[in-house]
Structure 1
Amino acid sequence: MSEQSRTDLEKHVEAIWEDVLDTAAGGPDATFFELNGQSIAAFRIVARISDRTGIDVPVEELFKDPTRATFARAVLARAERR
């Protein structure tokens, strides 16, 4: 995966995260839970990532890696395995 593709994917994840959680605040290290994320929001995030990128990420990844930065890395890792 090229560096540009990685950056684009990270931007998609960031935009989805901010849209679903209705926040641009918190920065990349704010946790999903600190931003009042709940299970329905987690399912929305992974569904939108799948719809927009074709990358299937289990919702458990979001709970395991609850910051935007760590979750984006988990999505990137899955993209690189395809």
Structure 2
Amino acid sequence: METGELREIGKRAAEIWAEVLGMGPGQEKATFFELSGQSIAAVRIAGRVQEELGVWIDVGAFFDDPDMETFADGVVAAARAEAEA
């Protein structure tokens, strides 16, 4: 998988995160729980990432309380791993 494609996956994953959690300006560093994330939001984000990007994300990862950048990096890592498998 090429770097540009991985960058786009990370960007779209961040957009999905922001949309589902209703992230406002200045909240880029806020964690899942700081954005009032709950299990239904975790399922919605994971489902959209899988549907739109073809990348499987374990819903349990949200309960490690990532911020948007950490989440997007995890999606990119998962996409890279799936491509190399």
TM-score (norm 2): 0.85
- In structure 1, the partner of 2:51 is 51
Structure 2 residue ranges without an equivalent (≥5): none
Structure 1: gaps spanning 5 or more residues: none
Question: How do 1:1-82 and structure 2 match up within 5 A?
Answer: 1-25=1-25, 26-27=27-28, 29-64=29-64, 66-82=66-82
Following the alignment from structure 2 to structure 1, what is the Cα–Cα distance between the partners of residues 65 and 54?
20
* Number of residue pairs the alignment of both structures matches: 81
Higher relative contact order (CA 8 A, sep 6+): 2
For residues 69 and 9 of structure 2, the distance between their equivalents in structure 1, rounded to whole angstroms, comes to: 12
When structure 1 is superposed on structure 2, of 40-49 and 14-23 the one drifting more is 14-23
Q: Structure 1 length normalisation: TM-score?
A: 0.88
1:72–1:38 distance in 2 versus 1, CA, 3 Å? same
Larger Rg: 2
Q: Aligned Cα RMSD in Å?
A: 1.3
Q: What is the letter of the counterpart of residue 3 of structure 1?
A: T
Question: What secondary structure sits across from 2:49 in the alignment?
Answer: helix
